[in-house]
Amino acid sequence: MKFLIWWIFIFKLVKTFTGYYYLKKNGSMIDKDVKQSLVINKVNAFNRFECIGHCGRLQQCYFVSFNSSICILYSYYAKFYIKNNSQGNLFEKKSHKNFGLVNYWPIENGEARDLAGGKDLYDPFNTQYSQDRHGSQSSAPAGIYFGNEFTVLVWVKLKSYAPWQRLFDFANGPADNNVLVVLSASEKLSYHLYNNDHYYGNLVTSIRLDLNGWYHLGFTLKNGYYKIYLNSILAEFNYTGVANPLNVIVRNSNYFGKSNWAADSNGDFMCDEIKFFDTELTDPDIKNEKIGSSGKFEQLFTKERDHGYQVQNLKFLNWLMGSRSNSEVDHNMIYMNIKMTYI
Give the domain CATH number at 119.
2.60.120.200
pLDDT of 256-270, one tens digit each? 999 999 999 999 998
- What pLDDT is stored for residue 81 in this prediction? 83
| pLDDT band per the 50, 70, 90 thresholds, residue 162 | very high
63 lies in which domain range? 2-93
| pLDDT, greater one: 130 or 30 | 30
Q: Would 313 be classed as within a structural domain? A: no
pLDDT at 342: 33
Domain membership of residue 319 (yes or no) is: no
Q: 94 or 61, which is more confident?
A: 61
Tell me: pLDDT of 55 over 60. yes
Q: Count structural domains, the chain.
A: 2
Least confident range of 73-87, 225-239, 267-281: 73-87
Mean pLDDT computed over 178-198: 96
Q: Is the pLDDT of residue 324 over 60?
A: no
Same domain, 31 and 158: no
Judge if 238 and 204 occupy the same domain.
Answer: yes
Over range 207-231, report the average pLDDT. Answer: 96
Task: Please report which confidence band the pLDDT of residue 68 belongs to, taking 50, 70 and 90 as the band edges.
Answer: confident
pLDDT at 91: 86
According to the model, what pLDDT value does residue 6 have? 57
pLDDT at 22 over 80: no
Task: Classify residue 115: in a domain, yes or no.
Answer: yes
- Choose from 91-95, 135-139, 158-162 the range with maximum mean pLDDT: 158-162
Q: Give a yes or no: residue 303 inside a domain.
A: no
Residues 8 and 123 in one domain: no
Residue 231 has pLDDT above 70, yes or no: yes
Last residue within a domain, chosen from 77, 93, 109: 93
Regarding whether 207 and 70 lie in a shared domain, the answer is no
137 plus 45 within the same structural domain: no
In terms of DSSP bridges, do strands 198-204 and 225-230 run parallel, antiparallel, or are they unpaired? unpaired
**Together in a domain, 27 and 161:** no
Task: Choose one of 93, 127, 151: the last residue of a domain.
Answer: 93
Question: 220 and 249 in one domain?
Answer: yes
330, part of any domain: no
Position 335 in a domain = no
End residue of a domain, out of 270, 290, 310: 290
What confidence tens digit (pLDDT) does each residue in 300-318 have? 344 444 433 333 333 333 3
Assigned domain for 228 exists: yes
CB 274 within 8 A of CB 92: no
CATH code of the domain covering residue 21: 3.50.4.10
More confident residue, 28 or 145: 145
Is there a single domain that holds both residue 71 and residue 115?
no
Same-domain pairing of 26 and 138: no
Are 68 and 108 in a shared domain?
no
Residue 232 confidence class, pLDDT cut points 50, 70, 90: very high
Q: What mean pLDDT do residues 193-209 have?
A: 93
